[in-house]
Amino acid sequence: QTELLDLSTVDVILISNYHCMMALPYITEYTGFTGTVYATEPTVQIGRLLMEELVNSIERVPKAQSASMWKNKEVQRLLPAPLKDAVEVSMWRKCYTMPEVNAALSKIQLVGYSQKIELFGAVQVTPLSSGYALGSSNWIIQSHYEKVSYVSGSSLLTTHPQPMDQASLKNSDVLILTGLTQIPTANPDGMVGEFCSNLAMTVRNGGNVLVPCYPSGVIYDLLECLYQYIDSAGLSNVPFYFISPVANSSLEFSQIFAEWLCHNKQTKVYLPEPPFPHAELIQTNKLKHYPSIHGDFSNDFKQPCVVFTGHPSLRFGDVVHFMELWGKSSLNTVIFTEPDFSYLDALAPYQPLAMKCVYCPIDTRLNFIQVSKLLKEVQPLHVVCPEQYTQPPPTQSHRTDLMVDCQPPAMSYRRAEVLTLPYKRRYEKIEIMPDLADSLVPLEIKPGISLATVSAVLHTKDNKHVLQLPPKPPQPPASKKRKRVSDDVPECKALKPLLSGSIPVDQFVQTLEKHGFSDVKVEDTAKGHIVLLQEAETLIQLEEDSTHIICDNDEPLRVKLRDLVLKFLQKF
Amino acid sequence: FPAFSLCAGAGQDVGRSCILVSIAGKNVMLDCGMHMGYNDDRRFPDFSYITQNGRLTDFLDCVIISHFHLDHCGALPYFSEMVGYDGPIYMTHPTKAICPILLEDYRKITVDKKGETNFFTSQMIKDCMKKVVAVHLHQTVQVDEELEIKAYYAGHVLGAAMFQIKVGCESVVYTGDYNMTPDRHLGAAWIDKCRPDLLISESTYATTIRDSKRCRERDFLKKVHETVERGGKVLIPVFALGRAQELCILLETFWERMNLKAPIYFSTGLTEKANHYYKLFITWTNQKIRKTFVQRNMFEFKHIKAFDRAFADNPGPMVVFATPGMLHAGQSLQIFRKWAGNEKNMVIMPGYCVQGTVGHKILSGQRKLEMEGRQILEVKMQVEYMSFSAHADAKGIMQLIRQAEPRNVLLVHGEAKKMEFLKQKIEQEFHVSCYMPANGETTTIFTNPSIPVDISLGLLKREAAIGPVPDAKKPKLMHGTLLMKDNSFRLVSPEQALKELGLAEHQLRFTCRVHIQDPRKEHETVLRVYNHLKGVLKDYSVQHLPDGSITVESILIQATAHSEDQGTKVLLVSWTYQDEELGSYLTSLLKKGLPQSTS
């Protein structure tokens, strides 16, 4: 949905993880976007693989014609559900192509965790490990005084990525929380156990196992579990196939991102050994990978076997062939592990189906218990999250534990809603140049508090402010004859400082006398005193917070009196 | 705020890098190298320079290791475990992985083969590595509240990094060893325009401007090829990691292209492992290798096989890569002794050799070497030197200075004469001060930092809004009050300062009686005054109010008749201290009377 926002006015896009960048070519290639995209290296590399697989799967089944008449509102109305109810179909687009993917990815600026990136001198953004996937990040957006954390797709579980950096999220004014688990009721560890036992059971009975999955992410963990499990379960002779146009790249790339992995895997690299055990599975021929079902795979294919392939929606990719091949037999099992799609919807077109279906969604992202733990730890002033996280899921309205619970209550936002974040900017950083700093005269006003008045030239460049000594006024050449006063209109309104303090009348009178005023007379008034200088016909009203000098137009006298008064006052 | 640096080991000498930097009260030790040319106390830096009394852990805030070469990390276990240091040690992931292996190798050669005692043990290496914190490139590591460090890619060897050390607005960049031209396996060093107060740069090749890499490579291949063709043996002493991989890639592709059959060997142990590191840390290599690694991993060699000691006596041509690179011990020295007598053979030194090593001796033309046990070895084989070690040359050093724009440059890790030449060049071209301290010498550099304070947004916006036309380029005058309280500096508007201190404003007002000779009626006089002021003060807001008074900005002028003299009018001009200048100007203007009216 792009009409809400003119994307050509967007300066920066921050990418959280490789699942969150699948629409990037649509923005960078079609909207006039000219800003910068920031992402970590694994995010870009694996994101490229996911896009490549998607493009490959779509392009493999070319359509001679593509129908678009049905997008017409009048026609759409007549279509059967769910097509009838689909929203914004006019916005639906064709899949991008590989050149567009490459162009989009070439616009990404690579960043590392905890790297501080200056944006326009105004704010600093920093990616932090979010613990969810290789290179996945949370982002801190901060100025000198305000800090906004964007927490999206984070995990506190120990899987292969570097653990989540929680400490750096502390002291946030606002924490934007999104990308929580899709399946808050399922425990990922339990699901992995179920996955393994179902897999083993099916294979032992002579059936095949189909695992629809993405080519990167949870599959690394599943392969690692199977690596530990297959020997004890007597599955050593069962072939595992990983079929994807990017299968090889995905397995290879996983081994070279040592710096983005959890501690245990890093230690392995130091030995030096490959961090993931699937290297050994490949070496011992237990795991084989193929770009597609055509070619080598058809020669090597042996049953019973286990196949990992995409796409998890079951709508395209090689998984479709296996559904059709194995769907008729109750010996076979399809195991759903990706949480992004409803397995019932995914299976609908294949019904009736004899094959067993097991639903083991593995979603390592934060659940609501972990969220409250995290918020207690991090203590943001305000939490902002999507509306659906602030109420229990519609199907389980009694589960009040399945919502974000924090104090003060989270601010929620809806699709296409603009939210004003609850903080007010009060201060900015400014630099005082050394020569100006030297010229300042601090004055201790109260114990421990000093002040100095600053009159300086403000320079602002790239949102950085600098104060410099004001230039010295050009000295008028002495030889020139005195200008007429009327030519000498004061040029800028050189502001005088504010004054504070009070004038003790006795001391003031003493001072006056010391300076040669002999006829000083003092009268008391309701609010203070009036000091009279009879000869000069001058009157000085002294009150607690004001002084009023009334005199004839005698400038030297007035200036003399002014300076005497100022001696008693502090300048601000 | 002086930021000074002390060289404990790396002054005008290539050998052991160890530099102490004190910046804004923080003490950071850069590298902890050993000298390959010495076997005695001079091997390690003299840490008593750092602090005479007191523990190193208390004095140093952190230690940074730039890369895994022993002249940069060889003394680390000695320093941390034998002298005693428990603080953090920072290095990149590949350095952390490879460093302990080289240290262990070095320990084995020194202790097990030469039988030296009083040296660090395997356990000490392990304990030392436990104190290491691995850093990512460009990651800002907060060592403590004030001190932060950041690593930049340096080329040179796998995992080599330059480090920026920053405290407040003062910063130092330490390059370690770096390479400004990409080679067959690594990329070029890069740094952003971070404008450090001080750039500490190595200067191994301070005067060399090397010919193109391609020429050198062709030369190298030609020499190897010729020797092999005439049945000779080629010895290439290398360090297990770094040049070795680059030259292997070079020979591998050459052998493939020319379909050569002579065997190439790589001395075993370290090197196989080394290639493994390159595979796993492929993200640290150059773009080309990174791009193609899925299809073809450049570090899986077809033509290069593992070496066995017995092969050295085999007849016929062969090429052998053997460690260590300076021919000071180990396998390379053994092979050298076997082959040195035959003029058909060739030794190619692809890198710098430290004084005192066999490598340095033969490179300087010595042909009769005294070996252990008073033996004299006559060198008849051809000796070739090819500068393949990946240091920046003079051009590269200048290029880095252009990139980083430092305010001062300090040269280390080079030879005094060459450094002097480069120093002059730098001072000429960049007009920055350049230093080259000797070992144990301290250089102090004064910085003049501006002072960051907090400014209230209200004041900033108000000042930005003043002025008839907002002109971004024109400097604006600003007035504020700087509040200093417990080391916090805030610049606020005078009103806010008063309010925060709980003080009331004291208003100082002046009222001046100005006598004007004018027989007309009061309101006519006022009108004349008004017209006069309006004419003179074109840039000011001059208003004639309904109650008969005039305002100029916030200055009030009222007229009354003189009580005694009807021909004289008294103008009361009233202003506050804040309008002092304008008020004073007005009174003097009016004192001169009104212009003769022409109407």
**DSSP per position, B547-582:** TS-EEETTEEEEEEE-SS-TTEEEEEEEEEGGGHHH
What is the reported pLDDT for A534? 79
Pick A549's closest partner by Cβ from B450, B510, B553: B510
Interface residue B197 vs chain A (CB under 8 A): no
Q: What is the bridge-based pairing of β-strands B555-561 and B568-576?
A: antiparallel
Q: How many C-beta atoms surround the C-beta of residue A414 within 10 A?
A: 9
Contact criterion met (CB below 8 Å) for B457 and A425: yes
Interface residue B508 vs chain A (CB under 8 A): yes
Which distant-in-sequence residues (6+ apart) come within 8 Å of A398 by Cβ? A392
Q: Which CATH number fits domain B213-385: 3.30.1360.20, 3.40.50.10890, 3.50.50.60, 3.90.320.10?
A: 3.40.50.10890
Pick A490's closest partner by Cβ from B138, B490, B581: B581
- Residue recorded with tokens 């305010």: B407
| pLDDT tops 70 at residue A64 | no
Residues 191-250 of A with CB under 8 A from B: 248-249
Q: Which three-class secondary structure state does DSSP give residue B159?
A: coil
Say whether domain B2-209+390-446 belongs to CATH 1.10.760.10: no
What is the reported pLDDT for B541? 83
Task: Give the minimum alpha-carbon distance from B97 to chain A in angstroms, rounded to a whole number.
Answer: 4
- Residue recorded with tokens 């099992």: A333
| pLDDT tops 90 at residue A522 | no
Q: How many C-beta atoms surround the C-beta of residue B346 within 10 A?
A: 23
Pick B136's closest partner by Cβ from A259, A458, A468: A259
Angle between helices A98-106 and A41-60 (to 10 degrees): 170
CA B460 to chain centroid: 34
Which distant-in-sequence residues (6+ apart) come within 8 Å of B18 by Cβ? B7, B8, B9, B10, B29, B30, B31, B32, B33, B45, B75
CA atoms within 13 A on the CB side of A91: 8
What is the reported pLDDT for B1? 37
Which distant-in-sequence residues (6+ apart) come within 8 Å of A512 by Cβ? A520, A531, A533, A564
Interface residue A432 vs chain B (CB under 8 A): yes
**Phi, psi angles (nearest 5°) of residue B494:** -55, -40
Pick A553's closest partner by Cβ from B448, B513, B585: B513
| Chain A partners within 8 Å of B512 (Cβ) | 550-553, 558
What is the reported pLDDT for A105? 95
| CATH numbers and ranges of domains, chain A | 1-61+71-111 (3.60.15.10), 188-359 (3.40.50.10890), 499-571 (3.30.310)
3-state percent breakdown (helix, strand, coil) of chain B, nearest 5: 35, 25, 40
DSSP letter, residue A193: H
Residues 129-188 of B with CB under 8 A from A: 134, 136-141, 169
| pLDDT tops 60 at residue A361 | yes
Write down the catalytic residue from B202, B246, B252, B384: B202
Q: How far apart are CA A530 and CA B412, in angstroms?
A: 76
Contact criterion met (CB below 8 Å) for B507 and A547: yes
CB contact under 8 A, B97 and A274: no
| Chain A partners within 8 Å of B484 (Cβ) | 442, 449-452
CB contact under 8 A, A562 and B93: no
Angle between helices A555-566 and A505-514 (to 10 degrees): 130
CB contact under 8 A, A249 and B515: no
What is the reported pLDDT for B442? 82
Residue A478 pLDDT class (50, 70, 90 cuts): very low
Q: How far apart are CA B288 and CA B346, in angstroms?
A: 32
DSSP letter, residue B122: H
Q: Could you tell me the residue ranges of all domains in chain B?
A: 2-209+390-446, 213-385, 454-501, 509-592
Q: How far apart are CA B177 and CA B70, in angstroms?
A: 12
Q: How far apart are CA A483 and CA A465, in angstroms?
A: 38
CATH class of the B509-592 domain in this structure? alpha beta
Summarize the confidence of residues A7-23 as an average pLDDT: 93
pLDDT digits (tens, 9 = 90+) for A79-121: 777 777 776 777 777 889 999 999 999 999 999 999 999 998 8
Q: How far apart are CA A420 and CA A411, in angstroms?
A: 10
Q: How far apart are CA B317 and CA B229, in angstroms?
A: 8
Interface residue A532 vs chain B (CB under 8 A): no
Query: Nearest Cα to B407, choosing from B428, B375, B431?
Result: B431
CB contact under 8 A, B512 and A572: no
∠ CA B554-B558-B562, rounded to 5°: 155
Q: And the tokens for B37?
A: 């040319």
What is the reported pLDDT for B467? 47
pLDDT digits (tens, 9 = 90+) for A136-170: 999 999 988 899 999 999 999 988 999 999 999 99
pLDDT digits (tens, 9 = 90+) for B36-74: 667 777 778 878 777 777 788 999 999 999 999 888 999
Q: And the tokens for B210?
A: 């090397």
Largest Cα span, chain B: 133
What is the reported pLDDT for B15? 59
pTM for the model stands at 0.84
Summarize the confidence of residues A4-26 as an average pLDDT: 91
Q: What is the bridge-based pairing of β-strands A528-533 and B304-307?
A: unpaired
Q: And the tokens for A68?
A: 């678009």
Angle between helices B270-280 and B243-258 (to 10 degrees): 90
Q: How far apart are CA B348 and CA B328, in angstroms?
A: 15
CA atoms within 13 A on the CB side of A526: 0
- Known catalytic membership, residue B202: yes
| Mean pLDDT for all residues in chain A | 87
Contact criterion met (CB below 8 Å) for A143 and A124: yes
CB contact under 8 A, B508 and A551: no
* Extended beta strands in A36-146, E state: 36-40, 108-111, 117-119, 123-129, 137-142
Q: How far apart are CA B407 and CA B196, in angstroms?
A: 6
The low-confidence residues of chain B, meaning pLDDT below 50, are 1-4, 11-12, 467-470, 598-599
Q: Which residues pair with B90 in a beta bridge?
A: B64, B133
* Cα separation values, A13 from A18, A118, B301, Å: 14, 14, 42
Interface residue B305 vs chain A (CB under 8 A): no
What is the reported pLDDT for A484? 43
CB contact under 8 A, A456 and B588: no
Residue A459 pLDDT class (50, 70, 90 cuts): confident
Residues 502-531 of A with CB under 8 A from B: 502
Q: What percent of chain A stands above pLDDT 90?
A: 51
Q: Integer distance in angstroms from the first to the last C-alpha of chain A?
A: 54
- Please name the residue of chain A whose CA is at the shortest distance from the CA of residue B515: A553
Interface residue A565 vs chain B (CB under 8 A): yes
**Phi, psi angles (nearest 5°) of residue B198:** -140, 135
Contact criterion met (CB below 8 Å) for A196 and A221: no
- Residue recorded with tokens 């395997």: B122
Q: How far apart are CA A172 and CA A152, in angstroms?
A: 15
Q: Which residues of A135-159 are buried (b: 16+ CB within 10 A; e: fewer)?
A: bbbbbbbbeeebbbbbbbbbbbbeb
